[in-house]
Amino acid sequence: MDIIYRFDPHAPLESKGPKNNRESLKLLANGNERFAKLVEHVQDIGSGKRDLPPKIIPINPIKLGVPIVSGLEPAHEPFALVLGCADARVPLEHILDCSANDLFVVRVAGNVLGLECLGSVDYAATALRKSIQSVIVMGHTGCGAVTAAVDIYLSPSDFANIAFSHAVRSLLDRVMLAVRGSARALESAFGSKVQKAKYYRDWLIETSIYMNSAVTAYDLQREVDAVTKGLHVSYSVYDMAWTRIGALPFRGAEDFDSTPHFAPAPKTSVDFPIIAQQVIARLGKE
C-alpha cells in the first residue's frame, strides 16, 4: 500500500491552532484516532482483508516548522507541551498525528520530572505561552522504567543490579511513589493475598504506569501554575498493542468509546486512590 504525504502549494498557508485547552485536547485525541485507524488500515491490508487506494495525508510547511521562503526562520508555535517517555516505540508526533511544530516535546525515560525537564517545561510555559494551550503527560504500556521500578519494589535485594548507576537510581526513585501507591491499592482491592497471584507483577506494572502519569501530571500542574496562569495539565497512556491513548487501560475494542483520551491532573492527594481503583477495575475485567 502507499501512504502519501501531499503538500498543496495553493492551499491557504495560515496556521490556525486551537484556542483553548478543550480544543487542543480534541485535536490530539482526533490525531490519535487517525493514527490508530491508519495502523488498522495497514494491518487489514497486511492480512489480506482488503486492497484500498493510497492513503493521502495533507501536510503544511508551517506546521512542519520548515521555511516557506528560503532563509526565513519559521515561528515557533506549538499548541501543546507534551512530556513523554524516551521509549523509541512512542514517537509522540506520530501517535498523535501531529506535525513537528505542533508539539513542544520533552522525552525522558519513565516520563519523570527531573530538574532539566522542569527547565524545559518552564521555558515553554512562559516563552511560548501564547501558542501553547495544553500540557500533557503521556505514559505508555510496557514502560521499561516503570517495570524496573516495580522489580526493585518486589525484590529490593536486586536493587544494585537493576539500578546500577546513581543516575538510573535517581530516575527510578521518581517512579517509586506511583509503584507504592499502586501496590497499596491492589492490596485494598483484592486483599494481601494478591501478592501471591499469578498476575500480580503484571497488574502492579500496569497500574503503576497509569499512576506514574497521574503523579507526574499532579507535580507538573503545580510547577506550571508557579510560572504562568490558566494552563491545564492532563495525563494519558499510550497503549502500544492498540495504538490508542487513554486515561484508563483498554481490555478490548469495546473499551475504545467508553475510555476518555485524557484525564485532568489530580487536584489533591485524595484523588490518587480513586484513580488507582478505576485502573484496577479495568484490570479485574481480565
Pick from 25, 82, 85, 265: which binds Zn ion (CB under 5 A)?
85
Q: How many H-runs (helices) and E-runs (strands) does the chain carry? A: 9, 8
Comparing C-alpha atoms, which of 220, 192, 204, 210 is closest to residue 134? 220
Total number of residues binding Zn ion (CB under 5 A)? 3
Compare residues 125 and 150 and give the one whose CB is closer to Zn ion. Answer: 150
What are the cell numbers at 22?
478543550
Binding of residue 175 to Zn ion (CB under 5 A): no
CB of 117 to Zn ion, least distance (A): 14
Compare residues 87 and 102 and give the one whose CB is closer to Zn ion. Answer: 87
Cα separation, 244 vs 138, in Å, equals 11
CB of 170 to Zn ion, least distance (A): 16
Burial pattern 142-176, b for ≥16 Cβ within 10 A else e, equals bbebbbbbbbbbeeeeeeeeebeeeeeeebbebbe
CB of 87 to Zn ion, least distance (A): 4
**Site track for Zn ion across 101-140, x = CB under 5 A:** ----------------------------------------
CB of 245 to Zn ion, least distance (A): 14
Binding of residue 87 to Zn ion (CB under 5 A): yes
Binding of residue 143 to Zn ion (CB under 5 A): yes
For residue 70, report the phi and psi dihedrals to the nearest 5 degrees. -55, 135
CB of 190 to Zn ion, least distance (A): 26
Compare residues 209 and 231 and give the one whose CB is closer to Zn ion. Answer: 209
Binding of residue 206 to Zn ion (CB under 5 A): no
Segment near Zn ion (CB under 5 A), from 67-75, 79-87, 246-254, 267-275?
A: 79-87
CB of 243 to Zn ion, least distance (A): 16
**Contact call for residues 134 and 234 (beta carbons, < 8 A):** yes
Cα separation, 218 vs 238, in Å, equals 18
Comparing C-alpha atoms, which of 25, 87, 24, 97 is closest to residue 59? 97
Q: For CA atoms 7, 11, 14, 16, give the dihedral sign.
A: negative
Binding residues for Zn ion, rule: CB under 5 A, are: 85, 87, 143
